[in-house]
Amino acid sequence: MSASSSKLSASRGLSILPALFRTSVGQKLLTALTGVALVGFIVMHLLGNLTLLAPDAGPFNLYAHKLDSLGPLKILAEVGLVALFGLHILNGILLKLDHKRARPVSYGYAPKSKGGPSYSNASSRNMIVSGSILLFFLILHIVQFRFGPSLSEGYTTLLDGGVEARDLHRLIVETFSNPAMVAIYVGTTLFLGSHVRHGFWSMFQSLGLMKQSRSRALYAAGLVVGLVLAVGFLALPIVLYFRSQGV
């Protein structure tokens, strides 16, 4: 660890964090690790949501009901998720503040990296912008679906075997019959792809796993992961919108 990177950084005041995570190296590490865990959640979320593509509501409502019936375990996972998002956002902001402090005047252009190709691009320069858009989206998204209308508001369905469950499928179909909502979801998932694209590559650097010989391949892999997530998520509102129009 170099002297400059190990100096206590902007998070000096956050004494609840272990000493390592109050250094800029520790912050990078924590941002990378929480990022990996969040991408893990997002991949699982996408896989579960793909059941929305089934011709009827059964598979998705059954999946959502199975998650609900985990009870306290689901709540524990949600608390963990909030902590992950919180740490990831906090560390991202602290890192940005550290960079600003180290270089108060912006270059105003994408600097070329020495000794190898430059991987500076719109995704890498706008991590705070794409991250902030995702945060606003998440607040809307969770209010809309997690805390949206439920059994008491008539969103009820009978699963196979006669079990009464929340009709989350109906709520999602209604949401995506609105073109404005489709536009918000499609736009946000493009930012998600952009954020993950750079985050993926940057994670290897933060974890000390980057080698010059691998950087081109990892950069391409980041693009593929970002694209798969973006296309996977944006396909859902688009397909559901066209279905709602009888196409």
Q: Binding residues for ligand HEM, per CB under 6 A? A: 42, 45, 49, 64, 67, 78, 81, 134, 138, 141-142, 145-146, 168, 172, 185, 189, 192, 233, 236-237
Nearest approach, Cβ of residue 123 and ligand HEM (Å) = 15
Is the Cα torsion angle 210, 212, 214, 218 positive or negative in sign?
positive
Nearest approach, Cβ of residue 127 and ligand HEM (Å) = 14
Q: What are the phi and psi torsion angles at 116 (to 5°)?
A: -175, 170
Q: Nearer Cβ to ligand HEM, position 19 or 68?
A: 68
Please say whether the beta carbons of 26 and 14 come within 8 A: no
Q: Nearer Cβ to ligand HEM, position 6 or 150?
A: 150
Q: What are the phi and psi torsion angles at 42 (to 5°)?
A: -65, -40
Q: Extract the tokens encoding 102.
A: 């180290």
Residue whose token pair is 């991590």? 127
Q: Nearer Cβ to ligand HEM, position 60 or 119?
A: 60
Q: Nearer Cβ to ligand HEM, position 95 or 192?
A: 192
Q: What is the distance between the alpha carbons of residues 190 and 173, in angstroms, rounded to a whole number? A: 21
Nearest approach, Cβ of residue 28 and ligand HEM (Å) = 21
Q: Which amino acid is at 203?
A: M
Residue whose token pair is 């689901």? 74
Nearest approach, Cβ of residue 30 and ligand HEM (Å) = 19
Nearest approach, Cβ of residue 205 and ligand HEM (Å) = 23
Nearest approach, Cβ of residue 66 and ligand HEM (Å) = 10
DSSP annotation string for 109-144: S-PPPTTS-----HHHHTHHHHHHHHHHHHHHHIII
Beta-bridge partner residues of 164: 158
Please say whether the beta carbons of 21 and 11 come within 8 A: yes
Q: Nearer Cβ to ligand HEM, position 63 or 204?
A: 63
Nearest approach, Cβ of residue 134 and ligand HEM (Å) = 5
Q: Nearer Cβ to ligand HEM, position 7 or 141?
A: 141
Q: Which of 191, 188, 149 is nearest to 166 (CA)?
A: 149
